[in-house]
């Protein structure tokens, strides 16, 4: 079953399937109430691939297929021999790991998100310019850990309170040249508040809003789902149309 017995319609996000959307429009025009069976029909196509992609079993099967093709995964860079090829994950990797691999004659192919690569470059440039990099994000997230490794002096703050605490430690912290970036999946409110504090308190801070656009859109979708009972997003004549039910 795609949906539980007690349907939580607030969490339903529709795919752009023409079949699903046409049924939605008919139901809106006809003022038909949304019953569990109709919701199952509408959501089955839209959510099938998402549910499968998120399931742990799916990824196990994926890795099995890759291994049968001669591709393996590893967490031990030292186990990779010269001449082999490594694909770097989307979150990126520690700079020291990449340096080790390349130094050992391993070919590195990056599948790291372009947005993450940009943040890594910003942190590396800040280090070269004598500025202190600041990352607003989750300290234990692989993306953030990897980004921080591109400078020996990186600071990681998980939100506005951590920023305030650091500034309160010493008045001289306000004078340090900073280059501030955000984790690509940082919550917009956390970044906006942290940015406001740094702009007000620091005398030499460069701020780069590096939140991924896709992340921002998902956060808007989540907010809408919390404010409404059900919503659908489609497009007609290249213009977005939002149907919602309060």
pLDDT in tens, 140-177: 999 999 999 999 999 999 999 999 999 999 999 999 99
Given a cut of 50, whether residue 41 has pLDDT beyond it is: no
Higher pLDDT, 236 or 93: 93
Higher pLDDT, 245 or 143: 143
- pLDDT, position 4: 37
Which pair of structure tokens corresponds to residue 105?
């004659």
Verify whether residue 52 is a known catalytic residue: no
Sign of CA dihedral 126, 131, 135, 136: negative
Q: How confident is the model over 25-35, as a mean pLDDT?
A: 40
121 in Cβ contact with 127 (< 8 Å): no
What does the alpha-carbon distance between residue 205 and residue 154 come to, in Å, rounded to a whole number? 14
Determine which one of 84, 143, 175, 201 is catalytic.
143
What does the alpha-carbon distance between residue 175 and residue 193 come to, in Å, rounded to a whole number? 20
pLDDT tier for residue 69 given thresholds of 50, 70 and 90 = confident
Considering 19-33, 101-115, 156-170, the range whose residues carry the highest mean pLDDT is 156-170
């Amino acid at each position: 079953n795609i949906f539980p017995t007690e349907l939580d319609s607030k969490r339903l996000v529709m795919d752009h399937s023409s079949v699903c959307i046409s049924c939605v429009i008919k139901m809106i025009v006809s003022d038909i109430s949304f019953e569990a069976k109709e919701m199952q029909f509408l959501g089955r196509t839209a959510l099938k691939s998402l549910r499968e992609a998120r399931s742990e079993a799916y990824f196990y099967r994926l890795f099995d297929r890759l291994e049968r093709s001669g591709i393996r995964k590893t967490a031990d860079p030292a186990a990779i021999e010269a001449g082999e090829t490594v694909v770097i994950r989307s979150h990126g990797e520690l700079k020291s790991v990449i340096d080790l691999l390349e130094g050992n004659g391993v070919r590195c192919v990056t599948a790291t998100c372009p947005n993450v690569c940009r943040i890594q470059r910003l942190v590396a440039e800040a280090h070269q310019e004598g500025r202190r990099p600041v990352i607003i994000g989750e300290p234990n997230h692989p993306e953030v850990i990897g980004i921080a490794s591109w400078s020996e002096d990186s600071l990681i703050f998980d939100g506005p309170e951590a920023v305030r605490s650091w500034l309160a430690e010493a008045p001289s912290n306000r004078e340090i040249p900073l280059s501030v970036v955000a984790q690509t999946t940082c919550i917009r409110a956390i970044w906006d508040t942290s940015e406001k504090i740094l702009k007000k308190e620091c005398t030499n801070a460069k701020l780069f809003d590096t939140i991924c656009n896709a992340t921002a859109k998902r956060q808007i979708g989540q907010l809408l789902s919390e404010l409404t009972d059900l919503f659908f997003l489609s497009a007609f004549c290249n213009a977005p149309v939002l149907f919602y039910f309060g």
